[in-house]
């Protein structure tokens, strides 16, 4: 990362763009799970409580929330902290990945834009899954199509992925994309089926249908179409480890409090963290496994 003024201006520009994209992400988080709403209907942002259309000033990322002291200008109902949190998180991640790998040319700019696309999707899906325990098809299914299209249009995105061949870049990049789709979605689907067989009684007692929701399967199929088979496998491994740790901690806390542990936890956020970790440090999962294995030996 350049420490020149130009380098820091790039980071600041990425932060500002991320704040704006995070503001749009809040629109998706609020509207997609609700019937009767869409990204374009209504066209203007509105207060979820009083339904008053908001001015551009009320939509300024983070700043509007601070100026309004976290309350709607019209009905004075508190604005959830999730709004500035999402904006700040997306902004910080945009700036971080610019800082990690500032684009040196047009290809670098396209690669960074794809990473930003995945970052935004990770944050939006995580927020929706945490609040509603769903991952909308409106995000994942078009995302799979976008992943395949980008892989064909910009095959060098998969230049480091197997089975990429520089002599046939588009065909093998598309093959890597399809392989990532199958690895991401297929591995989670198989994992879910095994869970259904092994934990059938607990699943029925908890009142849920499956050990693994199809939303998670489609999410990893989407991610795999852009990340390729090996990277998405690493991301899933990181997500599974984090999810297992979180599940154990929740059970321990429930036992201490003499309460019932939750029947399940949303898996989307853990998978999203796995994706972000692999984007920032490819091969992190295997590096950690080798470290643990060497220490254990």
pLDDT digits (tens, 9 = 90+) for 136-159: 999 999 999 999 999 999 999 999
Residue 177 has a pLDDT of: 96
Largest Cα–Cα distance of the chain, in whole Å? Answer: 63
Q: Give me the residue spans of the domains in the chain.
A: 1-104, 133-297
Compute how many other C-beta atoms are within 10 angstroms of the C-beta atom of residue 283.
Answer: 12
Q: How many helices (H) and strands (E) does the chain have?
A: 11, 0
Provide the Cα torsion 270, 273, 114, 89; round to 10°.
Answer: 110
pLDDT digits (tens, 9 = 90+) for 47-90: 888 989 888 888 899 999 999 999 999 999 999 999 999 999 99
pLDDT digits (tens, 9 = 90+) for 201-253: 666 665 666 667 789 999 999 999 999 999 999 999 999 889 888 988 988 88
- Total residue count of the chain as it appears in this document: 297
Residue 279 makes CB contacts below 8 A (sequence gap 6+) with 97, 115, 118, 119
- pTM confidence score: 0.90
Residue 296: Cβ-neighbour burial (10 angstroms; 0-12, 13-18, 19+)? exposed
**Which residue in this structure is represented by tokens 């994309």?**
177
């Amino acid at each position: 990362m350049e420490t020149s003024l130009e380098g820091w201006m790039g980071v600041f520009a990425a932060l500002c763009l991320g704040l704006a994209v995070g503001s749009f992400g809040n629109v998706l988080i609020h509207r997609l799970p609700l019937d009767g709403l869409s990204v374009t209907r209504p066209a203007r942002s509105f207060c979820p409580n009083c339904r008053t259309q908001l001015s551009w000033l009320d939509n300024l990322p983070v700043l509007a929330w601070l100026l309004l002291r976290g309350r709607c200008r019209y009905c004075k109902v508190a604005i959830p902290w999730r709004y500035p949190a999402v904006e700040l998180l997306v902004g910080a991640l945009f700036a971080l990945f610019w800082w990690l790998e500032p684009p040196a040319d047009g290809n670098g700019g396209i690669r960074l834009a794809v990473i930003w696309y995945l970052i935004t999707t990770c944050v939006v899906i995580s927020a929706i899954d945490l609040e509603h325990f769903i991952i909308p098809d409106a995000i994942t299914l078009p995302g799979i199509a976008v992943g395949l299209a980008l892989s064909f249009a910009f095959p060098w995105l998969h230049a480091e992925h197997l089975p990429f061949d520089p002599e046939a870049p588009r065909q093998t990049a598309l093959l890597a994309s399809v392989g990532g789709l199958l690895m991401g979605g297929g591995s989670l689907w198989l994992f879910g089926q095994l869970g259904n067989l092994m934990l059938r009684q607990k699943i029925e007692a908890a009142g849920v249908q499956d050990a693994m929701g199809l939303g998670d399967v489609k999410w990893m199929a989407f991610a795999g179409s852009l990340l390729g088979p090996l990277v998405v496998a690493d991301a899933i491994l990181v997500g599974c480890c984090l999810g297992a740790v979180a599940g154990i901690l929740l059970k321990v806390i429930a036992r201490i409090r003499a309460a019932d542990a939750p029947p399940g936890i949303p898996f989307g956020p853990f998978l999203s963290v796995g994706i972000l970790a692999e984007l920032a440090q490819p091969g992190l999962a295997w590096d950690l496994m080798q470290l643990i294995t060497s220490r254990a030996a």
